[in-house]
């Protein structure tokens, strides 16, 4: 009888953990890199066959963009002769346009827009010596690049055309407005804003109108990422005291936590199949890329 009671208690504990998601099977989180170097801003291109990401290399003491073959694991520098820091790479569908942020003296970071078909380069340089332009996304439908611009007026979401001109500011508000993510139909932008007092996820249309709050937590919800089908948004949150990956429906409902490790999990980016995320995770002080299974 005592054995039966102990078995029942054990089963109850296991069921409780399963219901709350307190543990994740090793099969759901697959380690992709093992060098432990600081990484950020991963993005999958070529239908998921290639991964671009930023990495700090000790040899050059610079931030580089690395290109990884997802099948073979072969990794190389995207621009090995570049002398500046490169941040936040993004590539348009079909691969024509490549955009990244580049370090300089004045401003600190500017946008470089490369038309790989026409073999041309354009720039957007935000005004002010300390200003930056980061976290770009490309809309071929609207022929624009949306990004975070940090100037004397604070962090705002702005856009320029594919030649780096015609700057427009979207949904201006005091404080932080950053990390734009474009919906698959290219009509809605998810972003993080402090306009409500905390850093939460909002959406707006591509004109900066119809702003809608999706999350309302006392800490930080950042780096939203639309799923390929447009039905879900992945993001990083510290609502439970640590950086973890969450996913929610596109209307802000059905929020659920995907990772539960004491290390930092951040920078979610979707695989085109909509079944996986690539994230940056810190384990035992090592920063590496992992593939995470996402079930509906």
pLDDT attached to residue 129: 87
* Contact yes or no for 166/145 (Cβ under 8 A): no
Q: How confident is the model at residue 21 (pLDDT cuts 50, 70, 90)?
A: very low
The Cα 80–Cα 62 span in angstroms is 11
Backbone dihedral angles phi then psi of residue 230, each to the nearest 5 degrees: 75, 5
Nearest CA among 97, 36, 44 for reference residue 70: 44
pLDDT attached to residue 105: 79
Residue 50 confidence (pLDDT) above 50: yes
pLDDT attached to residue 82: 81
pLDDT tens digit sequence for 106-142? 789 999 999 999 999 999 999 988 899 999 999 999 9
pLDDT attached to residue 172: 84
Pairing of the two strands 120-124 and 109-115 = antiparallel
How many CB atoms neighbour CB 255 within 10 A? 17
Q: Which residues pair with residue 44 across a beta bridge?
A: 51
pLDDT tens digit sequence for 175-188? 999 999 999 999 99
Given CA atoms 255, 261, 262, 264 in this order, what sign does their dihedral have? negative
> Which two three-digit tokens encode residue 205?
């249309």
* Contact yes or no for 99/111 (Cβ under 8 A): yes
* Contact yes or no for 237/217 (Cβ under 8 A): yes
* Contact yes or no for 205/160 (Cβ under 8 A): no
pLDDT attached to residue 136: 98
Backbone dihedral angles phi then psi of residue 138, each to the nearest 5 degrees: -110, 130
Exposure class string for 121-148: b at 16+ Cβ within 10 A, else e: ebebebeeeebbbbbbbbbeebebbbbb
Lowest mean pLDDT among 12-26, 213-227, 246-260: 12-26
The string of DSSP letters for 43-81 reads EEEGGGTEEEEEEEETTTTEEEEEEEETTT--EEESSTT
Mean pLDDT of 13-38: 60
Residue 3 confidence (pLDDT) above 50: no
The Cα 268–Cα 57 span in angstroms is 22
Q: What CATH number matches the domain at 26-293, 2.60.40.3500, 3.40.50.10860, 2.120.10.30, 3.40.50.300?
A: 2.120.10.30
Pairing of the two strands 177-182 and 221-226 = unpaired
Say which residues have a Cβ less than 8 Å from residue 174's Cβ, sequence separation at least 6: 154, 195
Q: Which residues pair with residue 249 across a beta bridge?
A: 232
pLDDT attached to residue 7: 37
pLDDT tens digit sequence for 162-171? 999 999 999 7
pLDDT tens digit sequence for 226-285? 999 999 999 999 998 899 999 999 999 999 999 999 999 999 999 999 999 999 999 999
SS3 label, residue 10: helix
Mean pLDDT of 140-148: 98
| Domain chopping of the chain, boundaries | 26-293
The Cα 159–Cα 148 span in angstroms is 9
- For tokens 């022929």, what's the residue? 143
pLDDT tens digit sequence for 53-95? 999 998 888 999 999 999 999 999 998 878 899 999 999 999 9
pLDDT attached to residue 81: 79
pLDDT attached to residue 232: 98
pLDDT attached to residue 58: 84
pLDDT attached to residue 133: 97
> Which two three-digit tokens encode residue 117?
């078909």
pLDDT attached to residue 79: 86
Residue 100 confidence (pLDDT) above 70: yes
The Cα 151–Cα 127 span in angstroms is 7
Instruction: Name the DSSP class of 127.
Output: S
Residue 22 confidence (pLDDT) above 60: no
> Which two three-digit tokens encode residue 78?
């995207």
């Amino acid at each position: 009888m005592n054995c039966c009671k102990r078995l029942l208690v054990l089963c109850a504990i296991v069921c409780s953990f399963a219901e709350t998601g307190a543990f994740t099977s090793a099969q759901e989180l697959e380690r992709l890199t093992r060098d432990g170097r600081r990484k950020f801003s991963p993005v999958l291109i070529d239908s998921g066959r290639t991964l671009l990401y930023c990495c700090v290399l000790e040899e050059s003491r610079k931030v580089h963009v690395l290109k990884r073959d997802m099948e073979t694991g072969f990794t190389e520098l995207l621009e090995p002769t570049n002398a500046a820091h490169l941040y936040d790479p993004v590539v348009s569908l079909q691969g024509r346009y490549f955009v990244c942020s580049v370090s300089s003296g004045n401003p600190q970071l500017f946008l470089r827009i490369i038309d790989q078909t026409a073999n041309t380069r354009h720039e957007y340089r935000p005004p002010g010596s300390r200003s930056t332009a980061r976290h770009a996304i490309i809309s071929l439908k609207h022929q624009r690049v949306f990004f975070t611009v940090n100037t004397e007026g604070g962090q705002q979401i702005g856009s320029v055309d594919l030649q780096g001109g015609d700057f427009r500011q979207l949904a201006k508000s005091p404080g932080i407005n950053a990390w734009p993510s474009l919906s698959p139909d290219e009509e809605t932008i998810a972003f993080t804003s402090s306009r409500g007092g905390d850093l939460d996820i909002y959406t707006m249309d591509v004109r900066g109108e119809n702003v809608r709050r999706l999350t309302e937590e006392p800490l930080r919800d950042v780096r939203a990422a639309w799923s390929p089908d447009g039905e879900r948004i992945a993001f990083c949150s510290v609502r439970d005291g640590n950086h973890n990956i969450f996913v929610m429906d596109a209307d802000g409902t059905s929020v659920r936590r995907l990772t539960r490790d004491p290390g930092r999990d951040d920078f979610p980016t979707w695989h085109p199949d909509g079944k996986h995320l690539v994230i940056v995770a810190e384990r035992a002080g090592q920063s590496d890329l992992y593939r995470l299974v996402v079930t509906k």
